[in-house]
Amino acid sequence: MTLGRPLHFNLFNNGSGHHEAAWRLPGSHPRANLDIGYFERLAQLAESVMFDSVFLADHVSLENTARRPSGRIDPLTMLTAVARTTTRIGLIATASTSYNDPYNLARRFASLDLISGGRAGWNIVTTPGDASAQNFGLAAQPSHHERYQRADEFVAVAEKLWDSWEDDAIRADRDAGVWADESKIHTIDHRGRFFSVRGPLNIPRSPQGHPVLVQAGSSEDGKDFAARHAEAVFTAQHTLADGLAFYADLKRRIKLAGRDPDSVKILPGIVPVIGSTEAEARELDAELDRLILAESGRDRLARQLGLEPAQLPLDQPLPDRLPTEDEIEGDKSRFTLIVELARREKLTVRQLVGRLGSGRGHRTFAGTPEQVADLIEEWAREGAADGFNVMPATLPSGFELFVEHVVPLLRSRGLIRTEYSGVTLREHYGLPRPPGRYATPRVAPAVD
Ligand SMILES: Cc1cc2nc3c(=O)[nH]c(=O)nc-3n(C[C@H](O)[C@H](O)[C@H](O)COP(=O)(O)O)c2cc1C
């Protein structure tokens, strides 16, 4: 039995692929992360099969440069270029609420929304790690809880700023010499714990009213934040059971927050490794795993677990005594996912590094196009997903195979749209355009 309704699909383009050793394969593009034309081409390919969006991650520190492609073009700048060479596909950029100010970030997203004709989305992240904090005048990261409190106020301020111009504020009346009606442009006079912002924003209300708000943290605070603000959610779920539990929990929280659960799209990551036979897919997967540099993966694992690399001998299991999620101030949900995976499957550190190298905890899957389509359908039918964040293990080859061989199967099962029915990202998600909060109520004309 098929599901019979189109799902939402996002391409997560990280350069040379989501398997951390993808850049080492013969024929890879090791400088892809710095190649604007490459990002444009992949966005065009995703648009040709009616994906909802492309997505770019972001971090504000530099680590692990020796062993993997690192350094990246600012996502908002990159997607501005992509906006000019595409027409329909949504453009989702990551930006941190811990290391920006609402005024300039709200302006930059409104600019992308204007430039792209209403296709901007903001992946709101709180940015784990001391290395980032140390680039912004802090000795260490603020606590996890405080970062989410700041994120809450940040988004509230950004929303007020995006609304500070009413939709019809610009008159451009040459004869009267009136460019804008100033009674329709408002200060916001925000004073809160983290921010004081007078407003108004120095750019008019953008085509979507404001960009689609996307969220990607899955801790308790992260889920509550998503329930209050998000319109789409990216998440890493390793098993169908975890995916089902997360989906049900988040939809419940959205309802408790007084919002319509159907209005928030939940998009787990899937890392496909595609072969014309299962054996071929598994062979590619194994080849990628052989190229993983275990010591470099262990350094990252140690950071995620709050340990020193020396505490993680490669051929032993994780130590019995580990911090608890409460003690982790970085990425709480990924910490728990990693520890549960290692314990459940009784993995050594080397094996765990291998498993994480192929998708950082997202659902990796090596198989034929049929099997990949079956997995997608199963997760959606069972109630673990409204769509998927497609994160091919190798890029561009993995996405080219997905487009050529998986998309036709999804199409024949009615699981992907065959045409765009709208232009904006909100329209792709079936979301209404938010009315501006300061909009002057229309006075009904007097009846005579
Ligand atoms: C698909 C996906 C993409 C993410 N991209 C970023 C990113 O680009 N930058 C970042 O700092 N965090 C990123 N994250 C991490 C989360 O946004 C969040 O910062 C982290 O998970 C900590 O939140 P938590 O403790 O609530 O889980 C991403 C997470 C997921 C699932």
196-248 pLDDT per residue, tens: 999 999 999 999 999 999 999 789 999 999 999 999 999 999 899 999 999 99
Residue 265 phi, psi (nearest 5): -90, 125
For a mutational test of ligand 1's pocket, the pick from 70, 125, 246, 335, i.e. the residue with the most ligand atoms closer than 8 A to its C-beta, is 125
The per-type count for the chain, helices as H runs and strands as E runs, is 15, 13
Altogether, the residues listed in the chain come to a count of 448
Asked if the model's pLDDT at residue 390 lies above 80, the reply is: yes
* Ligand 1 atom closest to Cα of residue 223: 26
Task: Give the pLDDT score at 16.
Answer: 95
- The answer to whether residues 125 and 92 touch, using CB atoms and an 8 Å cutoff, is no
Least confident segment among 105-114, 170-179, 294-303: 294-303
List of E strands, 138-215: 170-173, 178-180, 190-191, 196-197, 212-215
**Confidence band for 133, pLDDT divided at 50, 70 and 90:** very high
* Ligand 1 atom closest to Cα of residue 60: 11
Instruction: Identify which of 400, 317, 303 has the alpha carbon closest to the alpha carbon of residue 351.
Output: 317
Per-residue pLDDT reduced to its tens digit, 11-67:
999 999 999 999 999 989 999 999 999 999 999 999 999 999 999 999 999 987 878
* Ligand 1 atom closest to Cα of residue 222: 26
Q: What is the pTM of this model?
A: 0.94
Both tokens assigned to 251: 């939809």
Cis status, amide bond into 102, omega within 30 of 0 = no
Instruction: Identify which of 230, 284, 235, 226 has the alpha carbon closest to the alpha carbon of residue 385.
Output: 235
Task: Give the pLDDT score at 194.
Answer: 98
Cis status, amide bond into 396, omega within 30 of 0 = yes
Asked if the model's pLDDT at residue 446 lies above 70, the reply is: no
Does ligand 1 have an atom closer than 6 angstroms to the CB of 128?
A: yes
Residue 232 phi, psi (nearest 5): -145, 150
Per-residue pLDDT reduced to its tens digit, 358-371:
888 889 999 999 99
- The answer to whether residues 422 and 288 touch, using CB atoms and an 8 Å cutoff, is no
Does ligand 1 have an atom closer than 6 angstroms to the CB of 217?
A: yes
Distance, in Å, from the CA atom of 338 to the CA atom of 352, rounded to the nearest integer, reads 8
Span 58-85, average pLDDT:
92
Does ligand 1 have an atom closer than 6 angstroms to the CB of 266?
A: no
Instruction: Identify which of 251, 173, 159, 239 has the alpha carbon closest to the alpha carbon of residue 206.
Output: 159
Q: How much of the chain exceeds pLDDT 70, in percent?
A: 98
* Interior/surface letters 222-244, b for 16+ CB within 10 angstroms, e for the rest: bbbbbbbbbbbbbbbbbebebbb
C-alpha of residue 217 to centroid of ligand 1, in Å: 5
Distance, in Å, from the CA atom of 272 to the CA atom of 379, rounded to the nearest integer, reads 14
DSSP, residue by residue, 228-292: HH-SEEEE---SHHHHHHHHHHHHHHHHHTTS-GGGSEEEEEEEEEE-SSHHHHHHHHHHHHHT-
Please list, in sequence order, all residues whose beta carbon lies within 8 angstroms of the beta carbon of residue 130, skipping any fewer than 6 positions away.
Answer: 139, 140, 141
- The answer to whether residues 219 and 328 touch, using CB atoms and an 8 Å cutoff, is no
Task: Give the pLDDT score at 442.
Answer: 60
Residue nearest atom 13 in ligand 1 by C-alpha distance: 125
Span 157-182, average pLDDT:
98
CA dihedral 15, 16, 21, 22 (to 10 degrees): 150
Asked if the model's pLDDT at residue 267 lies above 70, the reply is: yes
Residue with the bigger pLDDT between 329 and 318: it is 318
C-alpha of residue 55 to centroid of ligand 1, in Å: 13
Helix axes 332-344, 349-357, angle to 10 degrees: 120
Does ligand 1 have an atom closer than 6 angstroms to the CB of 379?
A: no
Q: How much of the chain exceeds pLDDT 90, in percent?
A: 85
Task: Give the pLDDT score at 439.
Answer: 82
Report the SS3 class of residue 170.
strand
Task: Give the pLDDT score at 163.
Answer: 98
Q: How far apart are the first and last CA of the chain?
A: 60
Both tokens assigned to 247: 């989906």
List of E strands, 181-231: 190-191, 196-197, 212-215
Span 350-356, average pLDDT:
90
**Cα angle, residue 311 at apex, residues 306 and 314 outer, rounded to 5°:** 115
Report the SS3 class of residue 191.
strand
Instruction: Identify which of 1, 50, 24, 82 has the alpha carbon closest to the alpha carbon of residue 387.
Output: 50
Both tokens assigned to 155: 């988004």
**Confidence band for 312, pLDDT divided at 50, 70 and 90:** very high
Asked if the model's pLDDT at residue 269 lies above 80, the reply is: yes
Both tokens assigned to 343: 């314990």
Does ligand 1 have an atom closer than 6 angstroms to the CB of 394?
A: no
Least confident segment among 42-46, 73-77, 295-299, 428-432: 295-299
Task: Give the pLDDT score at 191.
Answer: 98
DSSP, residue by residue, 341-352: HHHHTT-BHHHH
Residue nearest atom 29 in ligand 1 by C-alpha distance: 216
C-alpha of residue 124 to centroid of ligand 1, in Å: 8
Other C-beta atoms closer than 10 Å to the C-beta of 4 total 9
Per-residue pLDDT reduced to its tens digit, 276-291:
999 999 999 999 989 9
Helix axes 75-83, 36-48, angle to 10 degrees: 60
C-alpha of residue 58 to centroid of ligand 1, in Å: 9
One-letter amino acid for residue 17 of the chain: G
- The answer to whether residues 97 and 66 touch, using CB atoms and an 8 Å cutoff, is no
One-letter amino acid for residue 396 of the chain: P
